[in-house]
Structure 1
Amino acid sequence: MLQGMSLSSWHIDCHVHSSCYSPCSRLRPEQACRLASERGLGAIVFTEHQIQWPQADLQILRSRSPGLAIYSGLELSLAEGFDIVCLLPEIDLQLPYGLSLDALEHALAPFGDEVFCFVAHPFRFLDRWDPDLDRMAPLLHGVEMNSVNILRGQACWEGDRLLPCRHELYRQLADTGLVQMFNSDAHLAEAIGTVSTRISLAHQDIPADTGELAALFRQHPRTYEHQNTNSLWPLVAGTAGI
């Protein structure tokens, strides 16, 4: 753990894509880090598609952003049609597209308790429970409850906050015992800081690497959503269903 950096409230975005390793992103990593710091985040996790950031590149990025905790996971698209974000030790991992659940379980087995997996935007394209979610249960530790991509086309107002219109399905999945995650799923600069996970770190230090971050979330901390609605609304307004 990094010493001397404990905070009473820590804001982290665990789902960010950069243009370096995700062709779908227009967000430069240095830009993402600068904006994260400017917009009040304490940490971000780069979760590129099928690939974890090389350790050497990650260390360079960290040296250029000393006030921000930076981690590297990866987002995996499975044969079953779901996307899973995995936080695990920084080993330059790459896995093929369309991996089966069984193959993913085998690939992650060596890391034991140093892995934290959450399902990303599970009901983005589904309006009902899918039986494959039950099959995924042994691999999952968390569920992404809100993000820019979740809200596109299915955003509803609840008071002064934006929730997915299929919020009850997300709640049903979270009620199986999963940690609730709130992320931007940023591919654009405008998305950084719009949605993040807030947790209390009053009595512990900030994780020094992604393996420690996974262990932190494996402890099932109480999480809360931070939402900058003023910045979030323009990204999801005007799409189908709004």
Structure 2
Amino acid sequence: MRIDCHFHSSQYSCCSHVSPQRACEIALARGLNALLFTEHGMYWDQEKLDDLQAQYPDLKLFSGIEIALNEGYHIVAFGTRFLDRQTNLMPLNQLISIVAEDRDNIFLFVAHAFRYQPYPLPELPQILKWCDGLEMNSINILRGRHVRYQKNIAPVNHALYEKHLQDFKLTPLYNSDGHDEDIIGLIANEFPISDPPDDEVELARLFKIKSPSEYQNPELLSLHYLLNSPEYF
């Protein structure tokens, strides 16, 4: 199973330039088996997600959420839904309190931890303590320059990501953090299973017990306009 667990569509995220339908078409064409929509501050309406799923039966669709923390980091969550309204900003303590009741069925990971600053803020250890995973690579992480590492394209500060992953015993994740068409399917998580989980809770449980390997599409990555610029090599 190949899944992107961090993607934004124009349905609910104003920063995205790709429609859900177009995202699904490209995801299928580029070999994804599943796609997790992680809109900013809100979940997909379940009825709309079901309607979209009916149009693309060969691509399993899930809905999660990306939450901006007051502490300066972004958390992506999937599993049991714990918000019923849009939330633009939230303190860590409030998030901890909200998810506590069903924590075993909710997976939390920190997105692009070192994209905006090349060092950890003092709040990061406390956040990672309450999380299950750490996003290790994405197109938006690679915007801050990259290197070739172990046959893949990695962030130039990949050692910093690796240190925090190991120190806090987290699950690694690899996503597009997509907002436009050309980066769908370039980076994804891969599991040695054939069928995606039935729902978000089962997906959360999968990530809690197994670590995915990183999938990259080297041809498309090399053609990507940001990574094809000399300043990124």
Alignment of 1:1-242 (within 5 A): 10-90=1-81, 93-158=84-149, 160-175=151-166, 176-201=168-193, 205-219=195-209, 221-233=210-222, 234-237=224-227, 238=229, 241-242=232-233
Distance verdict in 2 for CA 1:112–1:159, change over 3 Å: closer
Work out the CA distance in 1 between the residues paired with 2:25 and 2:138: 20
8 Å CA contact retained: 1:199, 1:224: yes
TM-score by length of 2: 0.93
Deviations 1:120-150 (A, max 9, x none): 0000012123221211133210011000000
Distance verdict in 2 for CA 1:112–1:26, change over 3 Å: same
Runs of 4+ aligned structure 1 residues displaced above 4 Å come to 239-242
| CA RMSD, Structure 1 to Structure 2 (Å) | 1.7
Work out the CA distance in 1 between the residues paired with 2:30 and 2:38: 19
Structure 1's unaligned 5+ residue stretches are: 1-9
Q: How many percent of aligned residue pairs carry the same amino acid?
A: 36
Offset, 1:160: 4.0
8 Å CA contact retained: 2:174, 2:188: yes
Deviations 1:76-120 (A, max 9, x none): 111011011001225774352221000111121232211000100
Structure 2's unaligned 5+ residue stretches are: none
Deviations 1:147-176 (A, max 9, x none): 000001321123642110010110011102
TM-score by length of 1: 0.89
8 Å CA contact retained: 2:110, 2:128: no
Work out the CA distance in 2 between the residues paired with 1:21 and 1:222: 29
Secondary structure of the structure 1 residue equivalent to 2:39:
strand
- Which gives a bigger RCO, structure 1 or 2 (Cα 8 Å, sep 6+)? 1
